[in-house]
Amino acid sequence: MITETSAVAFRQNLGEMLNIVQYRNDSVLIKKDGKPVAALIDARLFERIRRMQERFDALSDRLEQSYIGISEEDALAEIERATTRARAETADAWRTEGKLPALPGRRSKTMASSAIPGKKAGRRTKVSAKSKTSR
C-alpha cells in the first residue's frame, strides 16, 4: 500500500512515517503543492531498484556498443523487430504452457492434434430447429 502525505505532514510525523515503511512494508509518497516530489521506501526495495538500475545501465551500454556505426533510425527499427519477435515467442510459449489463453480465431497445437479426422477443428455445424425436433 502507498500512503500519500504532504511534505509538511511528513516533516511533522517522520517517526510515524518510518514505522509505516519499516513495520507495515508500505511506502510513503510525499507531495508538495499536490505534486509527488519524493517517496520513502523500504531499504530492501531501494537496493533492488538500485541493482535493477545498474543492470539497465549496463544493458544500455552494451546495446550502444553493439550499434556503433549504425544510424539511430536503423538501430531502433532492428530493436523493435527483435522485441516484437521475442514477445511473440514468449506469448506462444506461455499459451502452450497454459499461462495465457489461446487467441480467438487461432487453433492451439493441442486443439489441432485432438481434432476429429476428416473434420476441421473449431468449426461447428448449424442445426436448424427442424432437425432438432425430428431427432
Domain final residue, candidates 66, 82, 113: 66
Show the DSSP H helices in 68-113 as ranges. 72-96, 109-113
Rounded to the nearest angstrom, the gap between the alpha carbon of residue 135 and the centroid of all alpha carbons in its chain is 51
Are residue 92 and residue 32 in the same domain, yes or no? no
Which pLDDT value is given to residue 29?
A: 97
Check residue 102 and give its pLDDT: 87
Residues 82 and 92 in one domain: yes
Mean pLDDT of the residues in the chain: 84
- Residue-wise pLDDT for 48-90, tens only, equals 999 999 999 999 999 889 889 999 899 889 989 999 999 999 9
Range of the domain at 54: 1-66
Contacts of 131 (CB under 8 A, 6+ apart): none
62 falls within a domain: yes
Same domain flag for 39 and 88: no
Please give the average per-residue pLDDT across 91-103, as a whole number: 91
What is the count of structural domains for the chain?
Answer: 2
Residues 14 and 62 both lie in one domain: yes
The whole-number pLDDT of residue 74 equals 92
Q: What is the C-alpha separation between 98 and 112, in angstroms, rounded?
A: 15
